[in-house]
Amino acid sequence: MKRLVCVGVAVVVAGCGGSTIDGGQLEEEVREDAESAGLVLDAVECPSPDVDEGDTFSCTVTVKGEERPLEIRQRNDEGNVEYDLGPLLTSSAGSDAGGDEASVRSTVDAVRGDITALCDFATPRFRRELAKAENCAKAVLAEYDKLIGGDYQVSIDEDAAAASDGTRTVALERRPDGSWLITDVR
């Protein structure tokens, strides 16, 4: 999935008549665009380079604890830039089974440690289903005493996964950034 984003950012006039791109504003734009694409960024750090049409520079974007470069191209001398979020949407770990299982277990274990975290690790649709027009955490506490107990098995099929202790099953789906969210508990 290629996602090319073109944005205008503030230009700051520096001493001696030069202009620079506002790195702080660009960081916010990148963060918002990534969120719109379903990607949660841990951090974004962008420099404030001189404005120069056609020049490129890199921001450092942290996704799931991994720092990655995001190339920014200056479209003109007015602070308009473009960048492609596509490479950030692909996990560098690929789809190796061991990494996927560890990621699924990490999600399940986070909710096992605090059942109210189910609201944070649920897909938007499942979160709405859980909340039923009230506070999600209160609804989860009223519905569940625990997610799954003791030992559990994980199965993964492409972008779908399940964790089961034999009594209850947690269904998950892979997000574009490679993380897993819970879609159902039955």
| Beta-bridge partner residues of 60 | 45, 69
Whether the pLDDT of residue 15 is over 60: the answer is no
E strand spans, 64-133 = 66-74, 80-84
pLDDT band at 79 (very low <50, low <70, confident <90, very high): confident
b/e sequence 112-134, b meaning 16+ C-beta within 10 Å: beebebbbebbbeebbeebbeee
The predicted model gives 67-88 an average pLDDT of: 87
pLDDT band at 165 (very low <50, low <70, confident <90, very high): very high
- Condensed to tens digits (0 to 9), the pLDDT of residues 96-113 reads 445 788 889 889 998 998
- DSSP 8-state assignment for residue 9: -
The predicted model gives 129-148 an average pLDDT of: 88
Indicate the CATH number of 97-185 among 1.10.10, 3.30.310, 1.10.150, 3.10.450: 3.10.450
pLDDT band at 48 (very low <50, low <70, confident <90, very high): very high
Report pLDDT for 152: 93
Question: Higher pLDDT residue, 26 or 176?
Answer: 26
- Condensed to tens digits (0 to 9), the pLDDT of residues 173-185 reads 998 877 899 999 9
Q: What is the pTM of this model?
A: 0.50
Output the six-digit token pair for 47.
Answer: 């420099």
The mean pLDDT of the chain is: 82
Domain boundaries, the chain: 4-89, 97-185
Whether residue 123 contacts residue 181, with contact meaning beta carbons closer than 8 Å, is answered with yes
pLDDT band at 3 (very low <50, low <70, confident <90, very high): very low
Report pLDDT for 17: 52
Whether the pLDDT of residue 116 is over 50: the answer is yes
Report pLDDT for 168: 93
